[in-house]
Chain A
Amino acid sequence: MKVVADANELFSAVIAKGKGWKAKTLDIFFSDDVKLSAPYRLLAELERNRADIMSKSGFSHEEFDAFIGVLKLRVDFVPLEKFLDKIDEAKETSPHAKDIEYFALALKFKSDCIWSEEARLKEQAKVKVLNTNELWKLLNPESGDE
């Protein structure tokens, strides 16, 4: 399935606590059934906030680079030019302007869902939005509530 990943899910791959939740995040990241994408501009934002992220995570420059390196291998970062024609539709659909690029990307490539912990993204009916637990359950239907 085609999944657009929100920025918060990328950071969730390297959180220190919440082991069960983090394991589910990594399961999704490395699932053969999931093709992840995200706006390319998100990479630039990660780089722009490098110092702050390093300070709060405790990562060295090399560790931050390793984090970005793995993200680039798992996530298809798509330049705005490739979904620019969906920006207007995304503006009408997205409950908040901050999330326009995610919606435009999902609309352009007919993604199955946006993966995000932000409940506000569900306040529309055009694009399915699933949080980590919901997406994990969809990928592991035999696993019950765990």
Chain B
Amino acid sequence: MDFTFTHCMLSPNDQKNVFVVIPAYNEQESITKVLNELSSLPYNIIVVDDGSTPPLEGLLKNTPVHLLKHRVNLGQGAALQTGIEFALSKNADFIVTYDADGQHRAADIETLLWPLRQHQTDITLGSRFISNTSQLPPGRRSVLKLARYINFFFTGLLLSDAHNGLRALTSKAAQQIRLRQNGMAHATEIIAEIKKHRLKFTEVPVTIHYTDYSKKKGQTVWSSFRIFFDILLNKLFK
């Protein structure tokens, strides 16, 4: 009885099973805050602990979270793929990827889900450059501009934001996309997979909070070179 009652209360859209996948590697300082922000919202949360030392498990006691642990550190791409596969096994309708370093705003998730709920698109990608609400540290803007053209070079798609961790996918899209880039190059790989499987995508404006912590954990110019070579080597070796 209870069950049918709640059914009537919700509009069809609210019943959608949303899973937020958070890959986390040594994010002890920020993970609790991120989860506090998310736990009031009607989403299922998956944290993939990518081999953190000390493990994140202790910090996550009694939180509404599915915790998956990589025994060894594999990289953000691998953690995302693990979380996405687990979400699919739990019959997720929509899967959101979300960074653990506190850069994202939980309120942006609904903005990303909206076009999916309307069946307009298969994937929405967060972009900090559509509206100018993010205060970028100096230097970061030019690195991302460069990365944008590197992505274009490898994938043929020119997006406004090259490396934004906030995305939303339908289960159909998530089943087709398979990330083989364990490291940071997965951001480019996702775009390549979108193109390969001819998925429909939309860029959606989101706000990125730059904190001292996230700046410290974030990508540098040097890591963009590493990503570049990861992609290049992956092209050579299937």
Partners in one complex: no
